[in-house]
Structure 1
Amino acid sequence: MKGKSKSYDNSMENVTSERVDIFDRENIRNILESLPTTVFVTDKEGNVVISTSFTAMTLGLSLEELLKSNLKDLVERGYYNRSYALQAMKEKKKITGVLTTKAGFKMVSTSTPIIDDSGEITFVVTGGRPQEIIDNLNTQEKKDKVKRLKREIEYLRLQKISNEQVVAESIEMRKIFKTCYDIAKTDSSILLLGETGTGKEVLSKYIHLNSNREKGPFIIVNCAAIPETLFESELFGYEKGSFTGANTSGKVGVLEIAHEGTLFLDEISEMPLSLQAKLLRVLDNNEVRRVGGTVSHKVDFRLVCATNRDLAEMVESGEFREDLYYRINVIPIKIPPLRNRPEDLIALVDKFLMEFNKKYRRRHKLSSTEVQHLLKHHWPGNVRELRNFIERAVVTNHENFERTIDNHQIQNKMISSTDIMDCCSTVGNSTLKEFMRASEEKFVRKILAECNGKIGETAKKLGIYRTVLYRKLKSYESKE
């Protein structure tokens, strides 16, 4: 019996050891982040020791800021009107109540103290849900509001809006941010123009955070990342039973989720023509009708669009609706490429070095000569490319920086002189537009071959989205 008991104990120790391995720090963090509620843990002094990015977002803070905070300070600074965690700590019992956050969320919060064998509090665990979801709602209007709130939470959990300091050292960028600050309080539609990676999303967040809608949702929709077959249902939502495979309870679209907030349509140029007309109708009437539905729902959002393409040229070629173009192009803002903003480039290099040195625990530095090499580079991928390059430099700790930047330039070079001559001989006396299309197709196929036909790797190397690459390849095939 004793031997059997010892064997049993050993087997239990192995099981326990395996479970400890499964629930490591990273797995626990992923589990917490997947929860559809706010959740954070504080120590006996009221310091936040564990939290999720969604919890931080409801308070109007970044996760990093929240993890450095104390509950008393948060209440004093108005991030929420009261703390049930502090009350639970004081009374040594579970406390539930309603509180309002600085970001405008009304939450039903429950704080539970963890008490040790000596009767002392070690931690307090707090969780919460929006009050509208918990209330007993009967009317159809209120039920629709609940659906919208649930979908809003799904979207907002994936987004991290913070008051992160933007880099604007150049005169051009300072003028742009001054303009954005001045127009943020209006409801005029804004069109952000600029090459890929110039910071259009950062600028849209800045506009939202300085607008009268800052307490409302900020919804990002990447038009290039949504399959064309799902575009309408994603934007407009659908009623239950609208089509095969639809959610049995229906789905609220992002246009409704953005109600009383800001809707950012990135890569608007990639929106299908059939959807452009429907979007225009929404903007004109402030109403949305879900797929398969007969009832219109009122919407009120501020629209910010962005593109790295020439929409006016697309209008001329019939690829973009002229009426929608004029509707979204009320206030156009063109962001200059990084190569024309040396002051910003230097400031960004400094910022990224600090970020990645801290992240990877390095002390990487750049000499003045190395900075000069960075200033000479064309940076076709702009801020995004610069950030990736600095991360690579910090991680690999390159000894020959000059060779590294030269190799980087060669890898990102768009098309060689030989390729151009080949295209000239192929296209012959065709128009400039036909020549550009032929050049693009040759280069895309070349990169695709180098990546052994891997779509994801090719799209990343080209600096475009997978869906955009699929569309281009499909257009090449239909031409053959």
Structure 2
Amino acid sequence: MLSTDTWNEYQAILHSLKDDIIVTKLDGTITIASKAAGEIYGMEADHLVGRSVFDLEKDGVFTPLATPMVLRMKKRVTFIQTAADEKKLMVTALPVQGPDGEINRVVSYSHDITELKELKSYIADMEDEMKQVQNELDRVEQKRFHQEGIVSKSHKMQQIIQTAQQVADVDVNVLLLGESGVGKSSLAQFIHNRSSRKKGPFIEINAGAISEQLFEAELFGYVAGAFTGAKTGGSKGFAEMAQSGTLFIDEIGELSPQNQVKLLKLIHEKQFYRVGGRELITADFRLITATNRDLSESIAKNEFREDLYFRINVVPVNIPPLRDRPDDIPALIDHIMETVSDKYEKKKVLDGVVWQELLLNRWPGNVRELINVIERLVVTSTGEVITLDDLPHEYCNNTPVRFNKQLEETLPETLDRVEKQILLEAKQRHKSTVKIAEVLGISQPSAFRKLRKHGIK
């Protein structure tokens, strides 16, 4: 503090500053200290003047020191200083030259950043919590997807799910394309469940399973006496049953040319009559269709109407076959095993070799075939562990070359090679050793040791 007791302009200015300002001699003795300096270090500014910063450091008032740092570096320095009660200060110190051009004093000023550091720590904690919450939400969402038969671990399926979610709440016609068994029905239900019509009915019909003669009556319904065998009182058709909801027509490529015309008229006019009836009924449903056919090829052969194709193909979604999205297979196996085990109240696990056979199969029947095979394994296997002996022969020996003994190779070398290959494939599909151990039917420490043994990172 300035030595004079009388009012001094420079002293008044100094004490009006909110910053902690301290000036020291070269030996560390404090010659000037602002009022804020005393407040920040927990003592009167007058009590700081005349004291050595080295003594104050020993007393735990603050550390590290600005004076020796500036004298050593001979330039402006900025650093974080810790004061009593773990208070954090950002200190900037600079040399002051005397008349001879040599350093004569060291002046420093600081800002209390304790709250900033606490805020930063709080934000970091909040970010961690948000990540945990997001991970939990993702897990819940994935579980909800799984309950609807949707597994989307692969990038291809993630894109399809994103598209489905985008179009769900827009009342446009969607055409689902893909081989039999890829999950077109599940995706149609998924879209309905996320649409504004989710409280309405979801009506699914298979065009390939309805005879050409009955299609009109099934779609539009009929009145009493419309034809021989008609129910007394008539019957609603699928179009009327789907009011305020979604009408899903699977295998639309199987419709006859005559029935294609009737469907086209329904889509265009949004109205229909029951067979034999005279009351005009307004159609109020969202239309989703699906096919495993190449409709462009059917159009070229005059088997499918081009105008109908353009009506139903507002948003096409092409679901790839299971062989083109192998990353989905492990998650599908887990989901199907859990679902089927709960359904039949049988807790079963798959042997590691069975896992490998299922993972490497081409699955021409796609997800539907995988479900059927796992359901058969759970129901027919006698032990808690489903082994290779339980697997139908047509699903075995998918990788005979890998397991064959090579020339001039000993049995231990063959086993070692096979083990490494299995571990490599498991590591590619699963990030954690816990999951690898689970799918291979070994303990987590064993999985860790085996990965390290083969140099797999």
Residue pair 1:338, 1:345 contacting (<8 A) in 2 also: yes
Q: Which amino acid in structure 2 is aligned with residue 266 of structure 1?
A: D
Report what 1:276 is aligned to: 260
Change in 2 beyond 3 A, CA 1:397/1:163: closer
Alignment of 1:350-361 (within 5 A): 350-361=334-345
Larger Rg belongs to: 2
Q: Which amino acid in structure 1 is aligned with residue 311 of structure 2?
A: R
- Does structure 1 residue 230 correspond to structure 2 residue 210? no
- Does structure 1 residue 407 correspond to structure 2 residue 393? yes
1:233 positional shift:
0.4
Q: Which amino acid in structure 2 is aligned with residue 407 of structure 1?
A: H
1:184 positional shift:
0.5
Alignment of 1:76-95 (within 5 A): none
Report what 1:251 is aligned to: 235
Q: Deviations over 1:65-90 (max 9, x none)?
A: xxxxxxxxxxxxxxxxxxxxxxxxxx
Change in 2 beyond 3 A, CA 1:360/1:278: closer
1:245 positional shift:
1.4
Residue pair 2:246, 2:285 contacting (<8 A) in 1 also: yes
Q: Deviations over 1:237-259 (max 9, x none)?
A: 11222111112322221111111
Residue pair 1:256, 1:288 contacting (<8 A) in 2 also: no
- Does structure 1 residue 316 correspond to structure 2 residue 300? yes
Q: Deviations over 1:91-114 (max 9, x none)?
A: xxxxxxxxxxxxxxxxxxxxxxxx
Q: Which amino acid in structure 2 is aligned with residue 268 of structure 1?
A: I
Alignment of 1:104-123 (within 5 A): none
1:407 positional shift:
2.0
- Does structure 1 residue 262 correspond to structure 2 residue 246? yes
Q: Deviations over 1:99-135 (max 9, x none)?
A: xxxxxxxxxxxxxxxxxxxxxxxxxxxxxxxxxxxxx
- Does structure 1 residue 342 correspond to structure 2 residue 326? yes
Report what 2:31 is aligned to: none
- Does structure 1 residue 387 correspond to structure 2 residue 371? yes
Distance 1:357 1:404 in 2: 16
Residue pair 2:224, 2:231 contacting (<8 A) in 1 also: yes
Distance 1:227 1:381 in 2: 25
Distance 1:356 1:209 in 2: 23
Q: Deviations over 1:152-197 (max 9, x none)?
A: xxxxxxxxx9964631111111111111001101111000011111
What is the percentage of aligned positions where both structures have the same residue? 48
Report what 1:329 is aligned to: 313
Alignment of 1:116-131 (within 5 A): none
Change in 2 beyond 3 A, CA 1:267/1:210: same
Distance 1:266 1:291 in 2: 22
- Does structure 1 residue 370 correspond to structure 2 residue 354? yes
* TM-score, normalised via structure 1 length: 0.49
Change in 2 beyond 3 A, CA 1:184/1:359: closer
Change in 2 beyond 3 A, CA 1:406/1:362: closer
Report what 2:409 is aligned to: none
Q: Which amino acid in structure 2 is aligned with residue 352 of structure 1?
A: I
- Does structure 1 residue 190 correspond to structure 2 residue 177? no
Distance 1:307 1:401 in 2: 36
Distance 1:408 1:197 in 2: 19
- For structure 1, list consecutive stretches of 5 or more residues without a partner in the other structure: 1-160, 411-480
Residue pair 1:339, 1:375 contacting (<8 A) in 2 also: no
Report what 1:211 is aligned to: 195
Distance 1:242 1:353 in 2: 48
Report what 1:113 is aligned to: none
Q: Which amino acid in structure 1 is aligned with residue 267 of structure 2?
A: L
1:409 positional shift:
4.3
Q: Which amino acid in structure 1 is aligned with residue 175 of structure 2?
A: L
1:204 positional shift:
0.4
Report what 1:286 is aligned to: 270
Residue pair 2:351, 2:388 contacting (<8 A) in 1 also: no
Number of residue pairs the alignment of both structures matches = 252
Distance 2:343 2:386 in 1: 23
Distance 1:309 1:302 in 2: 22
Alignment of 1:41-190 (within 5 A): 164=148, 166-190=150-174
Q: Which amino acid in structure 2 is aligned with residue 273 of structure 1?
A: P
Q: Which amino acid in structure 1 is aligned with residue 173 of structure 2?
A: S
Residue pair 2:176, 2:184 contacting (<8 A) in 1 also: yes
1:370 positional shift:
2.2
Report what 1:306 is aligned to: 290
Distance 2:211 2:393 in 1: 35
Please identify, of 301-310 and 390-399, the stretch whose mean Cα deviation from structure 2 is larger.
390-399
Distance 1:162 1:168 in 2: 9
Q: Deviations over 1:276-311 (max 9, x none)?
A: 101111111110112122332111111000111111
Q: Deviations over 1:363-402 (max 9, x none)?
A: 3222333222112211011111101111111222278854
Distance 1:323 1:165 in 2: 33
Distance 2:206 2:214 in 1: 13
Change in 2 beyond 3 A, CA 1:275/1:362: same
Distance 2:313 2:184 in 1: 15
Q: Which amino acid in structure 2 is aligned with residue 271 of structure 1?
A: L
SS at match of 1:240: coil
Distance 1:359 1:215 in 2: 27
Distance 2:295 2:391 in 1: 33
1:406 positional shift:
6.6
Distance 1:403 1:193 in 2: 36
SS at match of 1:244: coil
Report what 1:50 is aligned to: none
1:358 positional shift:
2.8
